[in-house]
Amino acid sequence: MNTLLTTASVPEERGRPILDAATREVIGHAPVHTVGELNAAVSAAAAAQPSWAALGHAERSRLLHAIADDLDAQAEELGEIITREQGKAGGAGEAHGAAHWLRTTADLVLEPQLLQDDGSSRTELHHVPLGVVASIGPWNFPVMIAAWHFAPALRMGNTVVLKPSENTPLSVLALAGILRRHLPEGVLTVVSGDREVGAALAGHPRIAKIVFTGSTATGRRIVESSAGNLARLTLELGGNDAAIVLPGTDVGAVADQLFWAAFMNTGQVCAALKRLYVHDSLYAELVSALAERAEKATMGPGTDKANRLGPVQNPAQFAIVSRLVAEARERGARIVTGGAPAAELGPLFYRPTIIAEVEDDAAVVAEEQFGPVLPVIRYTEVDDAVRRANATEQGLGASVWGADPEEAAAVAQRMEAGTVWVNQHGGVDPGIPFGGTKSSGYGLEFGVEGLKAMAATKIIRR
């Protein structure tokens, strides 16, 4: 029996059924909190905030470390909930990843800054808590992204009200069960509800900051909500990351990395590789190398650790993936492999799909697919590839691949994205700032910049 799941779940008559993404069996019931319960959580967070801030950095960091240790100790149990609810193999890896994030965030150093001192006057810049932070998260990495939000917020002396995606509430409620063992009452509360509760949280008058990870469409609504409370925003929104493979690249050396940059977590990654631009001279070879990997990749329920690809997490996303592939096929693109559901594995499995001879205006290229599908697009001139890669509203990540890293880094300078990787794609690190440009959002997470984003600046002049 999974005791974390038992504590996260409520009796059937009081909750909404949450399904195993792979088998579609009910794994538990998530509470559906009301706006009244949300208001109570925000009030409790506001009441707890001054004494949490008064604890100081050293004590808050110590508590983040203690939570990280507990997360590592409970990673198998928490990981099982993540795997079943979200679908990924290796849910425990996500729990360990969250622990790593907590430790690094706890150990970051952000000192007050001396701005000026001329003997007769002195000016210092301090980073002080904002108050209550609202965290609103998606369903692709429910526990990891919750940690991305709450770790810097708590570290800086804020309290947090966290609303997980309605698709993956149980893993975050289970995480909250671990947090409760370490944190004073009210310091972090999970409110499990639908979009209406999310909207009420974003617009709540006592919220000082909203950190949101999710789609660009919802990000826009959150900006509107924040007109009322003037909450500061960190918006990590959708991505449609392009990669450019330069002429002369060793296809054998990069094919694996390119494949997993696109298909990790079954493509349900904000900064997954979603459009691959390949030079004409390498095109045929790389398309077949990717198709070979797609055909070999093991797919099935994440509870079997041999499976590296799982289901699409929810029916709405499955419908998007199916539509984008169907549209590409209708317009004459070549479905090299995949292109159909893997119904024998379960209703939400979709075969890893490589699409070739596809144009920029195909929906599968122009829109974020967020699933196990990669369009491979041919180019002949590097300048043209850069222009086409940049011709999108999104600007989360991008990558450039080539035999000469200096040449690739020079092309990377011309890519419009918050992070541009060279000969790699999608890696994030708790010490290195991460954030989007254009419609992929604004504000930074991670590293010292991420701490600053969870604080107000205060100038002391004397």
Cβ-proximal residue to ligand NAD, closest one: 198
* Nearer to ligand NAD among residue 80 and residue 368 (C-beta): 368
Report residue 397 as tokens: 């990540």
Q: Is 307 in the site for ligand NAD (CB under 6 A)?
A: no
* Nearer to ligand NAD among residue 71 and residue 201 (C-beta): 201
Judged by CB under 6 A, the residue of 38, 179, 202, 382 near ligand NAD is 202
- The residue whose two tokens read 């159909």 is 340
Sheet holding 159-163, edge to edge: 188-190, 159-163, 132-136, 207-213, 232-236
Instruction: Give residues 228-247 in contact with ligand NAD (rule: CB under 6 A).
Output: 236-239
Q: Check if the beta carbon of residue 241 is closer than 8 Å to that of residue 425.
A: yes
* Nearer to ligand NAD among residue 49 and residue 140 (C-beta): 140
d(CA 161, CA 140): 20
**Smallest distance, ligand NAD to C-beta of residue 177, A:** 19
Q: Is 87 in the site for ligand NAD (CB under 6 A)?
A: no
**Smallest distance, ligand NAD to C-beta of residue 332, A:** 27
Give the SS3 label for residue 177. helix
Instruction: Give residues 107-136 in contact with ligand NAD (rule: CB under 6 A).
Output: 136
Q: Which among 77, 85, 236, 368 is annotated as catalytic?
A: 236
Report residue 109 as tokens: 């150093």
d(CA 96, CA 99): 5
**Smallest distance, ligand NAD to C-beta of residue 357, A:** 26
Q: Is 318 in the site for ligand NAD (CB under 6 A)?
A: no
Judged by CB under 6 A, the residue of 91, 138, 157, 433 near ligand NAD is 138
Q: Is 89 in the site for ligand NAD (CB under 6 A)?
A: no
Annotated catalytic residue 270: yes
Annotated catalytic residue 111: no
Q: Is 213 in the site for ligand NAD (CB under 6 A)?
A: yes
The residues near 43 (Cβ < 8 Å, ≥ 6 apart) are 206
Site string for ligand NAD, 153-192 (x = CB under 6 A): ----------x-xx--------------------------
d(CA 415, CA 423): 14
**Smallest distance, ligand NAD to C-beta of residue 180, A:** 21
**Smallest distance, ligand NAD to C-beta of residue 211, A:** 10
Give the SS3 label for residue 14. helix
d(CA 12, CA 426): 39
Instruction: Give residues 266-285 in contact with ligand NAD (rule: CB under 6 A).
Output: 270
Q: Check if the beta carbon of residue 302 is closer than 8 Å to that of residue 22.
A: yes
Sheet holding 241-245, edge to edge: 334-337, 353-356, 373-379, 273-279, 241-245, 397-401, 419-422
Report residue 382 as tokens: 């590097």
Region from 116-124, 218-226, 350-358, 446-454 binding ligand NAD, contact rule CB under 6 A: 218-226
d(CA 138, CA 81): 16
Site string for ligand NAD, 345-384 (x = CB under 6 A): -----------------------x-x--------------
Q: Check if the beta carbon of residue 297 is closer than 8 Å to that of residue 309.
A: yes
* Nearer to ligand NAD among residue 132 and residue 251 (C-beta): 132
Q: Is 31 in the site for ligand NAD (CB under 6 A)?
A: no
Rounded to 10 deg, the angle between the 57-73 and 169-180 helix axes is 120
Report residue 168 as tokens: 């993956």
d(CA 390, CA 106): 36
Q: Check if the beta carbon of residue 327 is closer than 8 Å to that of residue 358.
A: no
* Nearer to ligand NAD among residue 150 and residue 379 (C-beta): 150
Q: Is 222 in the site for ligand NAD (CB under 6 A)?
A: yes
Q: Check if the beta carbon of residue 340 is closer than 8 Å to that of residue 351.
A: yes
* Nearer to ligand NAD among residue 138 and residue 302 (C-beta): 138
Active site residues: 236, 270
Binding site for ligand NAD (CB under 6 A): 136-140, 163, 165-166, 195, 198-199, 202, 213-215, 218, 221-222, 236-239, 270, 368, 370, 396, 436
